[in-house]
Structure 1
Amino acid sequence: MAKIDPYLNFLGNTEEAFNFYKSVFGGEFVFLQRFKDTPHGDSMSPEDKERIMHVALPIGGNLLMGTDALESAGQKLNFGDNISVAITPDSMEEAHKLFNGLGEGGNVQMPLEKMFWGAWFGMLVDKFGVQWMVNYDDSQK
């Protein structure tokens, strides 16, 4: 079965965003590469050289991955409305911890509450504009 690893694009603040996610989820980056460490890094501006080419943070059995989109290379983003990251925590305690952590400085769209399908579910947009869904089904435990 295929697994899904969300990949997030930012306009220059990938490092800040991923340090925030690391503070919420814990763990260590399994990969972090800057554009200066790529074959074309020498030809980039000093600012772009320091941006993140690729970063990966393990969360459970998945990876949260990201990069800085480079406006200097013509990359554009319609950020925040084209992806949601769905999280399935292992406990109610973890559901609250993740929901509250990700919601810090963000905007709760739907509070974490019991839903008609039997799970605890909530939606929010974090302070970086990323949409998150937390779904904990305590009937499966």
Structure 2
Amino acid sequence: MQLNPYLSFNGQCEAAFKFYEQCLGSKINAMMSWGELPDDDPMAGQVSPEWRDKVMHISLPVGDRELMGSDSPPEYYEEPKGFSISISIDGPAEAERVFKALAENGTIKMPIQETFWAARFGMLVDQFGIPWMVNCDQAS
């Protein structure tokens, strides 16, 4: 069994995942637009022309998991709430780098710092409205 986060965006999915590529040092490995749906797919006829270039599915490998997402059609989109993407990073310097990168044009909720459980821990909401927790465990 494998658990992977799947993020919903309101038209900014491709920009968000290109940002995550840079922040997390990975490469998008799959992306399909709503306009690429096969004609016989029931959703194909329901997508408005201005939404055809938006992302229907995207995938970014992060460690041994995938960060996935899509642009939800406006009538289905809801702002993120009640969760955070938690990322565990080896090494305080790398944790600080990733935190700073993800926080660009976002909102820091808890500055990255040493805590009783972590060499570094911080919380932020990125510029696309996605909440993150960046953690670097204390050395054993």
Give your verdict on TM over 0.5.
Answer: yes
The residue identity in structure 2 corresponding to 1:84 is S
Q: Does 1:76 align with 2:77?
A: yes
Which residue is 1:104 aligned to?
104
**How far apart, CA to CA, are the structure 2 residues paired with 1:4 and 1:119?**
26
Which residue is 2:122 aligned to?
122
Which residue is 2:93 aligned to?
93
- How does 1:14-53 map onto structure 2 within 5 Å? 14-39=13-38, 40=41, 42-43=44-45, 44-53=47-56
The unaligned stretches of length 5 or more in structure 2 are none
Q: Does 1:56 align with 2:59?
A: yes
Displaced runs of 4 or more, over 6 A: none
Matched residue of 1:139: which SS?
A: coil
**How far apart, CA to CA, are the structure 1 residues paired with 2:68 and 2:136?**
23
The structure richer in helix per residue is: 1
Alpha-carbon RMSD across the aligned residues, in angstroms, is 1.6
Q: CA shift at 1:128, angstroms?
A: 0.8
Asked if the contact 2:9/2:77 (under 8 Å) is kept, the reply is no
Asked if the contact 2:10/2:73 (under 8 Å) is kept, the reply is yes
Which residue is 2:9 aligned to?
10
Q: Does 1:139 align with 2:127?
A: no
After superposition, give the CA deviation of every residue in 1:64-86 in whole Å (9 maximum; x if it has no partner).
11000102xx3130x13232100
Percentage of identical aligned residues: 38
Matched residue of 2:139: which SS?
A: helix
Q: CA shift at 1:45, angstroms?
A: 2.3
After superposition, give the CA deviation of every residue in 1:39-85 in whole Å (9 maximum; x if it has no partner).
347523221111101000011111111000102xx3130x1323210
**How far apart, CA to CA, are the structure 2 residues paired with 1:118 and 1:16?**
31
- Number of equivalent positions: 136
Normalising by structure 2, we get a TM-score of 0.89
**How far apart, CA to CA, are the structure 2 residues paired with 1:28 and 1:47?**
27
The unaligned stretches of length 5 or more in structure 1 are none
The residue identity in structure 2 corresponding to 1:133 is M
Distance 1:92 1:99, change over 3 A: same
**How far apart, CA to CA, are the structure 1 residues paired with 2:44 and 2:8?**
22
